[in-house]
Amino acid sequence: MADQGASQKVDKKETTELLILLEEILRNHRSNMLLIMMFVTLARSSAHKRKRGGRDTAEEMIDSIPTHVKQLDRLIRVSDRSCIDNLRMDRNTFGRLCRILRCRAGLADQKFVTVEEQVAIFLSILAHHKKTRVVGHDFMRSPETVSKYTHLVLRGVLNLHELLLMKPEPVGDDCTDSRWKWFKLRFVYVLPGWEGSAGDSRVLRDAISRPLGLKVPKDCYYLCDNAYANSEGFITPYKGLRYHLKEWGHGTQAPQTADELFNLKHSKARNVIERSFAVLKMRWGILRSPSFYPIKVQTGLIIACFLLHNFIRTHMEVDPYEELVLAQHEDGYESDPDDPLVPTISTVAPTPMWTKKRDDLAAAMWAHRPNV
């Protein structure tokens, strides 16, 4: 009986130790599970933590970077044709522009947006005149990001004005080009919203007098259409006579009077000017319709179009837009200066002195017509 009691005591002790061991194992298991749950919660919180501004998550940003690179490659690295269609310049010219903006204008790669993408966003807006939301969808960026880099690149391009702005020279007395030899003129850029709105002559006057404009020097003037008055600084064609180049084509009668000869020479010279504006409007879609931007930003965008146009002409050996416009004008294409949609300026009347100047020019052309 003693042995049996001792055996029961041993079994009871072992059972107690086993239960204590099992309880300890369960306690440790619960502690481990709690730690695991804490780590999982922290990991999920870190993965879903939103970046500053409350937009995309960090994980989404990392996953989207290859897509941005692929989109940019599609625009500027696939072919020259694709780059010209989307950004209006070939790949080599685009690369040079980005390099100049880095070195001369201070543009730099940001954390997620390279200089190349910044410039591509800006050129896409100029070329296709899209709203920031549409461009943001194309480049997979927020409208705020598109707006930010649009203004940043715009400032950079405008800072290159000393490098890209052409310095005009008046036509001298020694000119031998038949289109220009009878005219002494200079060119100015026209700020946004002015082209095609001739209801107030202050438009052109203001362009000439602006700090970035070019004042008419002595004995020089601007060639204008009949929407303007033949007054100080402006020479217009004679009204009621043949004017357009298509009216002087093969099979038509040669000029019969000094006034008709003047209109022919005026039309040839002005055709070159119109061709330049046609290339600009064909290249930059933002010039073809009202802009979405405030007037101060519009002014900068228009000047940027002119500066980039000069850059493209300097660095692109073949400009498909210029060749297309040249072919159209050689076929007799040009805008109509008497288009009824463009009202005639009535705030400035013709002056006798400039009417006489035009008559003297016409008489000199007529006197030298065998040598022209």
Report the domain count for the chain: 3
- The pLDDT score that the predictor gives to residue 49 is 52
How are beta strands 234-235 and 222-223 bridged, if at all? parallel
Residue type at position 109: D
For the chain, list residues with pLDDT below 70.
Answer: 1-13, 44-66, 167-173, 178-180, 184-220, 325-348, 370-372
Q: Are residues 147 and 219 in the same domain?
A: no
- The pLDDT score that the predictor gives to residue 30 is 73
Q: How far apart are CA 186 and CA 217, in angstroms?
A: 9
Q: How far apart are CA 186 and CA 167, in angstroms?
A: 10
CB burial of 188-208 (b: ≥16 within 10 Å; e: otherwise) equals bbbbbeeeeebeebebbbebe
Residues in the chain: 372
Q: Is residue 44 assigned to a domain?
A: no
Q: Are residues 124 and 17 in the same domain?
A: no
Read off the tokens for 305.
């179009």
Q: How far apart are CA 326 and CA 310, in angstroms?
A: 17
Q: Is residue 186 assigned to a domain?
A: no
Q: Are 124 and 135 in contact (CB under 8 A)?
A: yes
Q: Are residues 234 and 367 in the same domain?
A: yes
Find all residues with CB under 8 Å of 71, minimum gap 6, and list them.
Answer: 138, 139, 140
Q: How far apart are CA 283 and CA 127, in angstroms?
A: 6
**E-assigned strand segments in 85-140:** none
Q: Which of 210, 176, 241, 233 is nearest to 358 (CA)?
A: 233
Q: Are residues 233 and 107 in the same domain?
A: no
Burial class (CB in 10 A: 0-12, 13-18, 19+), 83: buried
Q: Which domain holds residue 1?
A: 1-35
Q: Is residue 191 assigned to a domain?
A: no
Q: Are residues 212 and 328 in the same domain?
A: yes
Q: Is residue 355 assigned to a domain?
A: yes
Q: Are residues 96 and 1 in the same domain?
A: no
Q: Which of 165, 149, 162 is nearest to 98 (CA)?
A: 149
Q: Is residue 101 assigned to a domain?
A: yes
Q: Is residue 5 assigned to a domain?
A: yes
Q: Is residue 169 assigned to a domain?
A: no
Find all residues with CB under 8 Å of 263, minimum gap 6, and list them.
Answer: 237, 238, 241, 242, 243, 255
Q: Is residue 252 assigned to a domain?
A: yes
Tokens 């933590």 belong to 49
- The pLDDT score that the predictor gives to residue 222 is 76
Q: How far apart are CA 203 and CA 342, in angstroms?
A: 14
- The pLDDT score that the predictor gives to residue 304 is 94
- The pLDDT score that the predictor gives to residue 327 is 62
Q: Are residues 134 and 30 in the same domain?
A: no
Read off the tokens for 98.
């980005």
Q: How far apart are CA 299 and CA 294, in angstroms?
A: 9
Q: What is the DSSP string of 137-184?
A: HHHT--HHHHHHHHHHHHHHHHTTHHHHS----PPPTT---TTTTT--
Q: Are residues 361 and 230 in the same domain?
A: yes
Q: Are residues 221 and 286 in the same domain?
A: yes
Residue type at position 106: G
- The pLDDT score that the predictor gives to residue 98 is 95
Q: Are residues 338 and 234 in the same domain?
A: yes
Final residue belonging to a domain, choices 135, 159, 183: 159
Q: How far apart are CA 183 and CA 264, in angstroms?
A: 13
Q: Are residues 218 and 323 in the same domain?
A: yes
Q: Are residues 286 and 212 in the same domain?
A: yes
